[in-house]
Structure 1
Amino acid sequence: MIFSNLICKSKTKAQGKRERRKEARPGELLDAALDLFVEKGFAATRAEEVAKRAGVSKGTLFLYFSSKEELFKAVVRENISVRFTEWSKEMDEFQGSAADLLRFCMTSWWERLGATKASGISKLMMSESGNFPELAVFYQQEVIEPGNRLIARVLQRGVDSGEFAPMDMQYGVYVILAPMMFLAMWKHSLGACCDANAQLVPEDYLAVQVETILKGMCMRLPSISPTPPIT
């Protein structure tokens, strides 16, 4: 009887482990896929490698994701797209100036996304999107457009309050994106192999960039034209 109870308990524990393992599989697959996509790129990553790193069979991977493209989309949604609702809410509730909001946005971008492995997706898309137009369209709709809208909201807030000078909003957004994209590219290329003397401190880099940008955008008194010489 005791032996029988031990067998039953052992089976119950084993079943519980299998059930937890099954529930965890989508998350494990997404983590493994993110690692490989960032390490090797989209084209060079094979479904078999993702499954192996996640500790499951290739067939199990395709139970959850119908193709490598769908797996990639799920990785983007899980690691990047999910941030936009959170950031939008924080913008709505932010009480400081537009300049402070811009500082907050660039800093929080680095802390929550830029400093993570997920920022390598930006490098992947810049290098491979031409070969995968469907993924490029997806990334444009899922990441670039929502991100640009958030940045435009920050800039428009400053313009409406009189804190920032009027600007072409489309190109104003690119001014903010440029240092962020440079930092993401650097992290996943030269930053991973440079010696200590060539390294940069991301937080310090962003602080200098945002202050330089603000000096260019903030309203200033119009310059006084020189008085023409009397002839």
Structure 2
Amino acid sequence: MAEEMIRQAEKPAARVRGPSVEKTARTRERIIRAAMDEFLDKGYADATMAGIAARAGLAKGTTYRYFETKEALFAGIVRDIVIDPLAAAHSRPIGPDESVADYCRSTLLPAMRLIEDKGRASIARLVLTEGQVFPYLADVYRKEVYEPFIDHLHQLAKMAAERGELKCMFLVDSPHLLAAPLWMGIVHNGLLKPSQQIDTAALFEAQIGLLFK
């Protein structure tokens, strides 16, 4: 009997297969989407990890395994919903015969057209309305989204200046001018006059026409 028990103990333990990469990615996406809905519905202050888990249809413990805090969840939202689409646009090099204006139209305008539908404008508005009370929100958005985007526009402005493609040289020192229609649309559509939406992409395209030859 003792020998049998020893043989059983010496048998290798059966492997417990963890969740697949695909399932893990799907669960993470569910949590991210649920967190965004919770933040936008209740505000960052009143959003809870329990509420996020309920929206995602998951146990609260599962949510904590993916994101330990609300702060980590917000950072995940910023990276998944805002940064990834912009990174895809930024990664495409400008063509040898392509003007900077045309490059902006082909890489940035598609993201502008979807800024409301994909929730990116709502995330920006959350930062605007709650960033002073929760500085972490503004810090994450500034470092991960705002500063890299302005730097990207700055590089494009310098390239256009070197090529003689600019109507307004002020853009080289203040690339924020090219981003202005984006923020005008975000503020107008969600905070100031949501009943009369303006087309952010159309504003951006018009600004390109005003700034570039």
TM normalised by structure 1 equals 0.72
Structure with more contact order per residue of length (Cα contacts < 8 Å, sep ≥ 6) = 1
Q: 1:42: which partner in 2?
A: 44
- The AA in structure 2 aligned to 1:152 is H
1:169 pairs, out of 160, 165, 172, with 172
Specify whether residues 22 and 102 from structure 1 end up closer, same or farther in structure 2 by C-alpha distance, changes over 3 A only: closer
CA–CA separation in structure 2 for the residues paired with 1:44 and 1:22 = 29
Q: How does 1:109-128 map to 2 (within 5 A)?
A: 109-128=111-130
- Cα 1:181–1:40 change in 2 (3 A) is farther
CA pair 30-146 structure 1, distance change in 2 beyond 3 A? same
Q: Deviations over 1:124-173 (max 9, x none)?
A: 111111112233222211111111111112222211100114325342x2
**One of 128, 132, 135 as aligned partner of 1:133:** 135
Show structure 1 runs of 5+ residues with no match: 1-15, 220-231
- State the alpha-carbon separation in 1 of the partners of residues 46 and 118 from structure 2: 21
Alignment of 1:8-157 (within 5 A): 19=19, 23=24, 24-93=26-95, 95-157=97-159
Amino acid corresponding to residue 104 of structure 2 in structure 1: L
Pick from 179, 182, 202: which aligns with 1:207?
Answer: 202
**Aligned counterparts of 2:186 and 2:59: Cα–Cα separation in 1:** 33
Residues 48 and 58, structure 1, Cα contact 8 Å, conserved in 2: yes
1:64-86 deviations in Å (ceiling 9; x for gaps): 11111111111111111223431
Instruction: String of CA shifts for 1:73-132, please: whole Å, max 9, x gaps.
Output: 111111112234311222434742122223334412213444311321100111111112
The alignment partner of 2:179 has SS state of: helix
The normalised TM-score by structure 2 is 0.77
Q: Residue type matched to 2:169 in 1?
A: P
Verify the 8 A CA contact 2:171 2:178 in the aligned structure 1: no
Query: Structure 1 runs of 4+ off > 6 angstroms?
Result: none
Tell me, in whole angstroms, the C-alpha distance in 2 between the residues paired with 1:191 and 1:94. Answer: 42
Rounded to whole Å, the distance in 2 between the matches of 1:38 and 1:170 is: 35
Q: Percent identity?
A: 24
CA separation of 1:140 and 1:63: change in aligned 2, threshold 3 A: same
1:132 and 1:84 map into 2 onto residues whose CA distance is: 25
Structure (1/2) with the larger helix percentage: 1
Is the 8 Å Cα contact of residues 120 and 185 (structure 1) preserved in structure 2? no
Aligned residues: 195
Q: Which moved more, 1:115-124 or 1:93-102?
A: 93-102
